[in-house]
Structure 1
Amino acid sequence: MSGTGRQRPALGAAPVLSGPAYLLRGFGMWRRRPGLMVLGMVPALLVLAVLVAVFVVLVLQVGDLVGWATPFLDDTGEVARSAVRVSLAVVVVVGFVVLAAATFVALTLLVGEPFYDRIWRETERMLGGEVPDADVGLLRGIRDGAVLLGLGAATAVGMVVLGLLPVVGTIAAGVAGFGFSAWLLAGELLTRPLEARGLTAADRSELVRGRRGPVLGLGMSVQACFLVPLGAVVVMPAAVVGATMLARDLLDASAARRT
């Protein structure tokens, strides 16, 4: 896989299903630069260790937390009280997972900036053409990470509110949270290769308009890997590669439509 002689997933047909194909192609970088990809796992491992520690504490304390937050249920029947509090506990845990997923990508890209910059540049060289050199900068990473954290927190709060509906609310909150967090992390992964070409946030939104399927598909496939033990660590370098490839194809498709 070198130069411009690369097979691209079709952006027009089965667009959501084309997203995971980019992640699979990203894993192909392990054959070309295994040492570089291993380095890309280091920041992911550090951030994951911190988030897992917080998650364990939350799971151990979530029962007391939900009980403290719902004193108005103390006078209700035991069955109803248990059903609502268990549902809320599940939603709180899932909400944290959504927040952690969004935070994980932002923090990992920020902590691992030197490693992922090298992976991104190697991917750009492999795909052919000049490597864009617009300054992205540390402040951009901090700013985008803060925005992503805020969106993730808002999503987690929304899931808790939605989860107030027993059973149905819990399921709906889980599905909605998975989809929205997948979209957030895909957007964060695409930010680097697009900003390096001088695209603003408005430009990026315009670029993905009408091509949301591949972006969501990539995010969902990366998100699914997060559910596997240590999957987040292994997938991050490949996700950076896959997102760079997707960004190039989105730009090419946009240019083709204008001609």
Structure 2
Amino acid sequence: MRDLGAGLRYLGRGQRWVLTHGRWFGFGLLPALITLVLYAAALTALGFYADDIAAWATPFADDWGSTGRMLTRGVFAVMLWLAVLMLAVVTFAAVALLIGEPFYEKLSEKVEESEGGTSGAVEQPLWREVWTALTDSLYVLSRTLLFTVPLFFLGFVPVIGQTVVPVLGFCVSGFFLTLELTSVAMQRRGVPVRERLRMLRSRKALALGFGVPLTLAFLVPLLAVPLMPGAVAGATFLVRDLDGERPHPDAGATPPPYPAHGTQAPPPPAWH
């Protein structure tokens, strides 16, 4: 529960940071707005053709009675649209980050500077950063599909499909949304995507506390655009936690039990 609350606080802290740095808030709006327009057009087109896709995907229902055929294809069309919507929520950040790579990289860098800078930053040319972001996003998408495809079919199971599956769907979407958003600050540190995944798996509650509320917020029309800059800023704060560059929000002033790498332990207290 501690990590769950910490993830939520990082999300709120990122939103506050961009709101108090208005220039960077506006800086991050344009890529998100372009992405929203593209996704809205795609989801609208899917809504128009969902019935045709359902009929094509369920030829076995052609000889059924009209009630059974309509019910089956109607459920399939709704589940398909919802599955694509959840996938769109997860990939929205990835596409926005690709479109606005220079914007969000600069925004994240400014957040780092406000916290004392980044240790061990890896400098790369822009084309290399974009290429890495693209390949990493494809990897994350493939991992996401490993969960979303089975959940799509489980959605047809009575009771479970209407209760447990949606909850699991939001958790999966929230986790991978966090993975996408942390890619900017992680890439600056030269952390490969598989290592990022391992780090977030070790702190699942932290990733869910950050990503699940954001996933729910992204479902609200137009809300993803103003939240995107703060999401990148909040993910940068979260990465600093994972990277050990700042104490955990709940850690207070308690010193770590072991010295950080590359530093010397403080001298023992003098006993009198």
TM-score by length of 2: 0.81
In the TM superposition, 1:133-212 aligns within 5 A as 133-135=121-123, 137-166=129-158, 168-212=160-204
Which amino acid in the other structure matches residue 37 of structure 1? F
1:73 deviates by 1.5
* 1:248 aligned partner: 240
List gaps (5 residues or longer) in structure 2.
249-254, 260-272
Change (3 A) 1:175 1:86: farther
Describe the SS at the equivalent of 1:28: helix
- Return the index of the structure with the highest Cα Rg: 2
CA distance in structure 2 between the partners assigned to 1:193 and 1:258 by the alignment: 25
Equivalent residue number for residue 20 of structure 2? 32
Structure 2 residue 54 is matched with structure 1 residue 66 = yes
Q: What secondary structure, in the 3-state scheme, does the structure 1 residue paired with 2:121 have? A: coil
112-121 or 25-34: which moved more? 25-34
Change (3 A) 1:142 1:130: closer
Cα distance in 2, alignment partners of residues 62 and 249 from structure 1: 43
Taking a change above 3 Å as real, the CA distance of residues 116 and 194 of structure 1, as seen in their structure-2 partners, is same
**Is residue 115 of structure 2 the alignment partner of residue 127 of structure 1?**
yes
Shift of 1:251: 2.1
Give 1:55 shift. 0.3
Aligned to 1:227: 219
Q: CA deviation at 1:202?
A: 4.5
Task: Report the 3-state secondary structure (helix = DSSP H, G, I; strand = E; otherwise coil) of the residue aligned with 2:182.
Answer: helix
Which residue number corresponds to residue 105 of structure 2?
117
Return the offset for 1:81: 3.0
- Structure number with the higher helix fraction is 1
Q: Which moved more, 1:213-222 or 1:149-158?
A: 149-158
Kept in 2: contact 1:134–1:196 (CA 8 A): yes
| Cα separation, 2, equivalents of 1:79 and 1:107 | 40
CA contact (8 A) 1:94 1:174 kept: no
Equivalent residue number for residue 11 of structure 2: 23
Identical columns (%): 33
Aligned residues: 247
CA distance in 2, matches of 1:55, 1:23: 27
- The residue that corresponds to 2:72 in the other structure is 84
Higher deviation after alignment, 130-139 or 81-90: 130-139
1:226 offset after TM fit, Å? 0.5
RMSD of aligned Cα (Å): 2.4
Q: 1:129 to 1:118 in 2, by over 3 A?
A: closer
Moved more, 127-136 or 175-184: 127-136
User: Is residue 47 from structure 1 mapped to residue 35 from structure 2 by the alignment?
Assistant: yes
Name the TM-score, length of structure 1 as normaliser.
0.85
User: How has the CA–CA distance of structure 1 residues 168 and 209 changed in structure 2, closer, same or farther, with 3 Å as cutoff?
Assistant: closer
CA distance in 1, matches of 2:163, 2:109: 41
Q: Structure 1 pair 158/67, CA: closer, same or farther in 2 (3 Å)?
A: same
2:19 and 2:25 in contact (8 A); partners too? no
The answer to whether the Cα contact below 8 Å between 1:29 and 1:241 also exists between their aligned partners in 2 is: yes
8 Å CA contact 1:99, 1:155 repeated in 2:
no
CA distance in 2, matches of 1:157, 1:203: 24
Match in the other structure for 1:102: 90
- Is this contact kept in 1: 2:136–2:193, CA < 8 A? no
* SS of equivalent residue, structure 2 residue 243: helix
**2:179–2:197 Cα contact (<8 Å) kept:** no
Match of 1:218 in 2: 210
Mapped partners of 2:257, 2:147: distance in 1: 34
